Amino acid sequence: MAHTIVHRAATRDHSDHGWLKSYHTFSFGMNYNPERVNFGALRVLNDDWVSGGQGFGEHPHDNMEIISIPLSGALQHEDSMDNVAVIESGEIQVMSAGTGIYHKEFNKNRGEAVQFLQIWLFPNQRNVTPRYQQLRYDGLLKPNQFTQILSPDQHDDGVWIYQDAWFHIGKFDQDTVIDHTLKQSDHGLYVFVLEGSAVVRGTTLERRDGLGIWETEQIKIKATPGAHLLLMEVPMKF
């Protein structure tokens, strides 16, 4: 029997540092809730807003898969692997932190804010050689369908990571019903509404709501016009 958990946008922890406004679906930093530490291998889902010209100074990470998905504006990235890049809406970036990296991120533009999702997944391999990858996916999107943007296979569509996880994203301009089948039966699916609304197994989700579902192989998703949805399939045991 399928199990579900719903995280409403209004129940997320909120941090406001002036230049940074962040909403945390799962416990992050000083905001700790033992009932909202993770969803399977999905550890962090932060909805970040950074004012013009501001950003995160150099800081370390290790043994974590870190994904950034800009929603508006431009985010500049620099790291200890000598990568210097700008990621924008319609792109996805991934870092496999592995044995350890240092990086910094800041708003490329001084005149406008940048908004992006920061997502962390526990890896299925520890102490790998750190790596960086960036991909523009918006040209691959088809109306009223989901498009894969992340997988564990470097030869598959989208970026790849050291975890048996699959991300799909979709934009909808009409009422659409999709039966989404999980890649593996022991996985869970976390549905995050970027914009608009959707109904998942009878539960209506609005902007920035999230719903996790597991112990099922297929999920019916009803998207309404204007919906922009992110699906994250992850192992529940890892």
Report field, pTM of the whole predicted structure over 0.75: yes
Q: Which fold is adopted by the domain 9-136? A: Jelly Rolls (2.60.120)
Second-level CATH architecture of 139-235: Sandwich (2.60)
Q: State residue 218's pLDDT score.
A: 96
Q: What is the pLDDT along the chain (238 residues), one digit of tens a residue?
A: 899 999 999 999 999 999 999 999 999 987 788 889 999 999 999 999 999 999 999 999 999 999 999 999 999 999 999 999 999 999 999 999 999 999 999 999 999 999 999 999 999 999 999 999 999 999 999 999 999 999 999 999 999 999 999 999 999 999 999 999 999 999 999 999 999 999 999 999 999 999 999 999 999 999 999 999 999 999 999 8
**The two structure tokens encoding residue 170:** 């979709």
Q: Same topology for domains 9-136 and 139-235, yes or no?
A: yes
DSSP letters, 35-63, are: TSS-BTTEEEEEEEEE-TT-EEEEEEE-S
Q: State residue 155's pLDDT score.
A: 96
Residue ranges of domains in the chain: 9-136, 139-235
CB neighbourhood size of 217 (10 A): 12
Query: Helices (H), strands (E): how many in the chain?
Result: 0, 22
- Please provide residue 34's backbone torsions phi and psi, each rounded to the nearest 5 degrees: -60, -20
